[in-house]
Amino acid sequence: MKPDRLPVVVLISGRGSNLKSILDAVAAGLPAEVCAVISNRPGAGGLAHAAAAGVPTEVVDHTRFATREAFEAALTGAIDRHAPGLVVLAGFMRVLGPEFVRHYRGRLINIHPALLPAFPGLDTHRRAIEAGAAEHGASVHFVTEEVDAGPVIHQARVPVLPGDTPEALAARVLEQEHRLYPEVIGWIAEGRVRLEGDRVVREKRAAG
């Protein structure tokens, strides 16, 4: 670990396309280092991206625990072994409990495929089309105890086009996610963004 790099742990559940964008950005000079990638699903495709980048991986399979609390205790232990400055949810498909969220408050972020506070939850692209939204996009936010309700750090916007399908809209949003997530991680690594109380505080230049 280089001293000027923010240690990051990434949590995934699936194919890991956002993880790959982060790993590519790190390789290109992003001032962060992915110390570990942890999945709650043994077959998650994103584990291969981590292995290809030489990043340690671990599986904490939620199905092997009797309660959410037991799973999250094991997950916390796996994360904290790497002493991360930031925990990044990249397609991690588990709702996290209040104790877990409080433990990582101010250093836990998520990316959501909608322009929050619009369309929290699932199936955002179909819902945006059905609502007649003129634009859609993605939001990176600090995670708080209420799902998809934490303070938004930054957003990327795309138009909703005539005749759009959820799949076509999702593809355009995902392209923006791959740009947006590394950018925000870089801001946090440089000390330009932090959570203070319930609001996002921005610095004009890097700390130090």
CATH code, domain with 48:
3.40.50.170
CA separation, residue 115 to residues 14, 119, 121, 156 (Å): 22, 7, 12, 8
Residue 65 lies in a domain: yes
Residue 1 lies in a domain: no
Nearest-angstrom CA–CA distance, 141 and 152:
4
Tell me what pLDDT residue 95 has: 94
Residue 207 lies in a domain: no
CB 113 within 8 A of CB 138: yes
Residue 182 lies in a domain: yes
Q: pLDDT band at 183, cuts 50/70/90?
A: very high
- Given a cut of 80, whether residue 205 has pLDDT beyond it is no
- Given a cut of 60, whether residue 47 has pLDDT beyond it is yes
Please state the domain count of the chain.
1
Q: Model's pTM, two decimal places?
A: 0.95
CB 121 within 8 A of CB 43: no
Q: Which residues are catalytic?
A: 112
Tell me what pLDDT residue 207 has: 46
- pLDDT tens sequence across 97-140: 999 999 999 999 999 999 999 999 999 999 999 999 999 999 99
Residue 109 lies in a domain: yes
- Given a cut of 50, whether residue 208 has pLDDT beyond it is no
Tell me the residue range of the domain where 67 lies.
6-202
Share of the chain above pLDDT 90, in %: 95
Residue 89 lies in a domain: yes
- pLDDT tens sequence across 67-87: 999 999 999 999 999 999 999
Half-sphere exposure at residue 204, Cβ-oriented, CA atoms within 13 angstroms:
0
Tokens of 7: 């240690």
Residue 67 lies in a domain: yes
- pLDDT tens sequence across 136-160: 999 999 999 999 999 999 999 999 9
Residue 183 lies in a domain: yes
